[in-house]
Amino acid sequence: MKKHPPTSFHPVSAPDFLPLAQLKSLQLQRLQGMVQRAFDNVPLFQQRMRERGLTPADVRRMDDITQLPFTVKTDLRDTYPFGLFASPMKDIVRLHASTGTTGKPIVVAYTKADIAVWENVIMRSFAACGLHAGDIIQNAYGYGLFTGGLGAHYGGEALGATVIPISGGNTQRQLMVMKDFGSTAICCTPSYFLHIIEQAPELGVNLKELPLRAGVFGAEPWTETMRQRIEAESGLKAYDIYGLSEIIGPGVAMECQCQAGPHIFEDWFYPEIIDLKTGRPLPDGEEGELVLTTLGKEAMPMIRYRTRDITTLTSEPCECGRTLRRIKRIGRRSDDMFIIRGVNVYPSQIETALLKVEGTLPHYQIILTREKGLDEVEVLVEVTREVFGDTVGALEQLERRLSQSIETLTGLRVNLRLVQPQTIQRSEGKAKRVLDQRKM
Ligand code: DLL
């Protein structure tokens, strides 16, 4: 294994260590400004506040946030494209958009000050995992309307690191650049890095011999076992970065070198956890939906945005000394659960079950079909080249072990099919795990 430097401190990280009383008073001051701004400039927000008999003056303490109305994804769609903007276009210097699978994209906007906040949280994200000036960051998040590429880019430069804006895809070139330019860090989705790992030997690259020491992985759910697999096979340390376009993009939360769950940059993004059904706030330590409020966004303030991401917030101290609370890695969204024959299943549970068994990569895809009114679930799993060369008996045995593992974890009997390496389509960005053919 490669040597990793001890936990380092970078001055840009100072706000990560604010004494709690100071952090809380900063949050309140910023929240009050934000609510006023949204009230004055966003008709939908003002209308919802009035319906509740509220004015910005009613936000006196941080707890008052629970009285404020939620914002949901459909609000962005219904006011497409610019209806939630709180700044005139002359002050907006950047637009990004997230497409999603159905309907219109959602559009998000940034003023110069918003871009500065974004740069700040990305610098703090990189610093948190031990990167600094002198590091060479290969940024393989997609550049364009997706927030990943440009988001990570400017924070990397501001930190003084060398950023390679390679964007996603072209794995052969990724590996060549990684080797020839001596990249010390890579930013991409964990599923795409898995693909890089798999291609490396074929292109004569031994990742463990390269200077690469940190992976900044996010934009999609991944599991702890996936982290272990990635680290064992590449020799780098894999860190979880979380974010979403509606709030800013990547950099809402990031793991420190303790790798114990992402710290939320709470001085800019205020987190709450709510009960999925009732919408009531839950105490730290309980699982629910993450709700985020931007505390400094000018162009598009988001008040109590329901992310649909399921997690737990913890205020337990982290060994790194940061006072920022952490979230548990986000393994699922409230809207990616599928129900098969009455059993609720999340793709992350299938991933965990597959990873318990050796011999898979694990590239997998879940296909849902309906035959004569009965739901069926088929799980395609790619096996390694070595395993695929095994006897039919050995493959059947592996198939049985995998479906048993899924059944034990989810209670669901699935049709499991082992497929040859390279059969499941690779994504340069977010992996598409579930193909629901029932709706078609
Ligand atoms: O994915 C921003 C991003 C870019 C984050 C690069 C990290 C790295 P969206 O396209 O708007 O923005 O998708 C946001 O992706 O609500 C989560 O469901 C999921 N997601 C993002 N990061 C993680 C993560 C970007 N670390 C949606 N773990 C979010 C699990 C994640 N899910």
For range 22-28, the mean pLDDT: 98
Instruction: Compute the mean pLDDT over every residue in the chain, rounded to the nearest whole number.
Output: 92
Atom of ligand 1 lying closest to residue 253 CA = 26
For residue 411, what pLDDT is reported?
84
Percentage of the chain beyond pLDDT 70 is: 97
Is residue 33's pLDDT more than 90?
Answer: yes
How do residues 270-323 score in pLDDT, each as one tens digit?
A: 999 999 999 999 999 999 999 999 999 999 999 999 999 999 999 999 999 999
State which of 330, 333, 430, 433 you would mutate to test the pocket of ligand 1, scoring each by most atoms of that ligand within 8 A of its C-beta: 330
The runs of H, that is alpha helices, within 185-283 are 190-199, 224-234
pTM above 0.85, yes or no: yes
Is residue 101's pLDDT more than 80?
Answer: no
For residue 103, what pLDDT is reported?
67
For residue 383, what pLDDT is reported?
83
Is residue 436's pLDDT more than 90?
Answer: no
Token pair listed for 314: 């913890």
For residue 100, what pLDDT is reported?
60
Given the DSSP bridges, would you call strands 263-264 and 249-254 parallel, antiparallel or unpaired?
antiparallel
Distance of CA 277 to the CA centre of its chain: 23
Query: If phi over 0 gives left and psi between -120 and 50 gives alpha, with beta otherwise, what is residue 162?
Result: beta
For range 322-329, the mean pLDDT: 97
Ligand 1 neighbours by CB, cut-off 6 Å: 98, 141, 147-148, 218-221, 240-245, 249-250, 307, 309, 330, 333
- What is the phi/psi pair of residue 401, to 5°? -65, -40
The region of weakest confidence among 106-110, 145-149, 249-253, 352-356 is: 352-356
Token pair listed for 49: 């506040």
Among protein residues, the one with the nearest Cα to ligand 1's atom 27 is 244
- pLDDT tier at 361, thresholds 50, 70, 90: low
Atom of ligand 1 lying closest to residue 243 CA = 5
- pLDDT tier at 357, thresholds 50, 70, 90: confident
Strand partners, 368: 377, 436
Token pair listed for 20: 């709690």
For residue 412, what pLDDT is reported?
86
How do residues 241-254 score in pLDDT, each as one tens digit?
A: 999 999 999 999 99
For residue 104, what pLDDT is reported?
78
For residue 1, what pLDDT is reported?
47
Among protein residues, the one with the nearest Cα to ligand 1's atom 29 is 244
For residue 218, the CA-to-ligand 1 centroid distance in Å is 6
**Structural contact between residues 310 and 287, judged by C-beta atoms closer than 8 angstroms:** yes
Percentage of the chain beyond pLDDT 90 is: 74
For residue 1, the CA-to-ligand 1 centroid distance in Å is 29
For residue 348, what pLDDT is reported?
87
User: If you compute the radius of gyration of the chain from its CA atoms, what whole number of angstroms results?
Assistant: 22
State which of 71, 220, 427 you would mutate to test the pocket of ligand 1, scoring each by most atoms of that ligand within 8 A of its C-beta: 220
- pLDDT tier at 427, thresholds 50, 70, 90: confident
The region of weakest confidence among 40-49, 65-74, 373-382 is: 373-382
DSSP 422: T
For residue 348, the CA-to-ligand 1 centroid distance in Å is 15
Distance of CA 409 to the CA centre of its chain: 24
Alpha-carbon distance of 46 to 54, in angstroms, equals: 9
Is residue 87's pLDDT more than 90?
Answer: yes
| CB atoms closer than 10 angstroms to residue 51 | 9
Is residue 2's pLDDT more than 80?
Answer: no
For residue 242, the CA-to-ligand 1 centroid distance in Å is 5
